[in-house]
A = this chain, B = another copy of it.
């Protein structure tokens, strides 16, 4: 562990000074972008992605210091150590080998004397024939009918990444299988899914590393009982994705198959493992899932090998830290001008906020200010008709615009006002980043635009499976690079523990009341006692 501490490094003070300078009128974005060859100097291409930070509030002096910071923080070495299987998740003494899940090179990734890559490859070799057998009707439910519905039962990292990719590649789903998600313990979620499926044609994919996640286990229990109630054998309608030896692992006869996940891949980084692999291979076909992996691998190689000044996720991470910790923007919006990427923001919200929403560094020192960024977003142009009023005239916040050059569909677009739909979409994307940066003064304050509102533009050529993999890996690497610059551990999440413990105490109170109507919650604090009474009475008063 290096002695580097983000807030105490001399570069931190120098960057704060630069931020002060940037807040001066000479550094308004209108001036910055007017510089010769601004885009050439403040953009990079690699891993199949174009990244433009010309409309971020940086200049060469700022970027030079930020690159110095990556050296002080030893970011490149840490990233390489992660790729090599070192236990970079220091608080949990684990490796972080999500990149091994999509590495098709022959080099091993050793952890505790085992080759993680070989173990991951074995799981892929199990997913491929399984998904094919389902598609061909060789594996069926308990009545012998082919599966037509797949429901992913999992929450958080067992859900959001797969949902993002499934939406992104919906246009490729030609296996006659619908894909649905049961994440929430809310009974409405089960009820809604149950109303859409045909039980005898449904395959439930239950995903939980420990097979003890309360939401997932409560839903698994409910599924088994409801399947039995309609005369089906749940074991023929269920597969699990779980740790070796967990209560959901194969051998108990309670499921068709079990696919392993490993402690060296955290939930929010797991979509390229069996967590995404099983449902996405069923929904899209294994070959497309593999193409998605290969896109991610391409970006991984770029992130590992490109020098800092050409390294897209590293630069994006520096911009992220600069905006959050120096310019003082606590949030960033992700606005893909691509309807298929409509679940990207929800996935990155988890990936980034759960990774980097931390108050201590990796060595256990309290940070002077918490790290992390609040992420939200909706697709453009929808977002323009929603929160962009505030983006233009309220408190400024940085935006990641995402553009796609070639749409997935060959549908005739027609011409409206002389342009096609795809062109109209791009006119809007470019107009927003331009208007936010440049602004426009007016004598009427209500119609005045101060501009100087930063954004990046990320472009991919298409939305083939590879491109979706590239985008995923870009944001994963960006998140991790940010963490390394802040000096934090992006792989643990102790912040979710207190809520779990507190819920457990309240659950015990409820269970006591379920057993004994006279149980009066006298041990519960007065506020929660009132709520428990409301809940058991079913009335507000």
Contacts and interface: CB of A to CB of B under 8 A. Distances in A.
Contact of A447 (B378, B497, B503): B497
A534 B459 contact: yes
Given A356-B394, A538-B405, A221 B414 contact: yes
A435 interface: yes
A38 B388 contact: no
A442 to B, nearest CB: 9
Contacts of A515: 418
Interface in A300-349: 330-331, 337-340, 346, 349
A376 B372 CA distance: 16
A189 interface: yes
A155 B382 contact: yes
A157 B384 CA distance: 11
Interface string A492-504: 1111111110111
B91 A503 contact: no
A279 interface: no
Nearest to A168: B188
Contact of A370 (B194, B346, B393): B393
A534 B405 contact: yes
Contacts of A382: 155-156, 159, 183-184
A172 interface: no
B171 A188 contact: yes
A390 B190 contact: no
Contact of A409 (B188, B494, B502): B188
Interface in A462-507: 492-500, 502-507
Given A188-B407, A359-B394, A386-B156, A431 B171 contact: no
Interface residues of A, number: 160
Contact of A393 (B159, B379, B495): B495
A72 interface: no
A187 B359 CA distance: 43
A461 B538 contact: yes
A418 B507 contact: yes
A180 interface: no
Contacts of A426: 506, 510, 531-532, 535
A230 interface: no
B374 A387 contact: yes
> Which of A39, A221, A412, A427: most chain B Cβ within 10 A?
A427
A480 to B, nearest CB: 15
A82 interface: no
B539 A413 contact: no
A446 B91 contact: yes
A130 interface: no
A446 B527 contact: no
Nearest to A385: B156
Given A331-B331, A388-B495, A389-B495, A506 B430 contact: yes
B419 A507 contact: yes
B187 A507 contact: no
A159 to B, nearest CB: 8
Contacts of A500: 431
> Which of A39, A157, A358, A531: most chain B Cβ within 10 A?
A531
Closest 4 interchain pairs by CB?
A357-B390, A156-B385, A418-B511, A357-B394
13 contacts: A33-B525, A185-B381, A187-B407, A187-B409, A187-B422, A267-B385, A364-B445, A415-B514, A430-B531, A430-B532, A434-B527, A440-B498, A461-B538
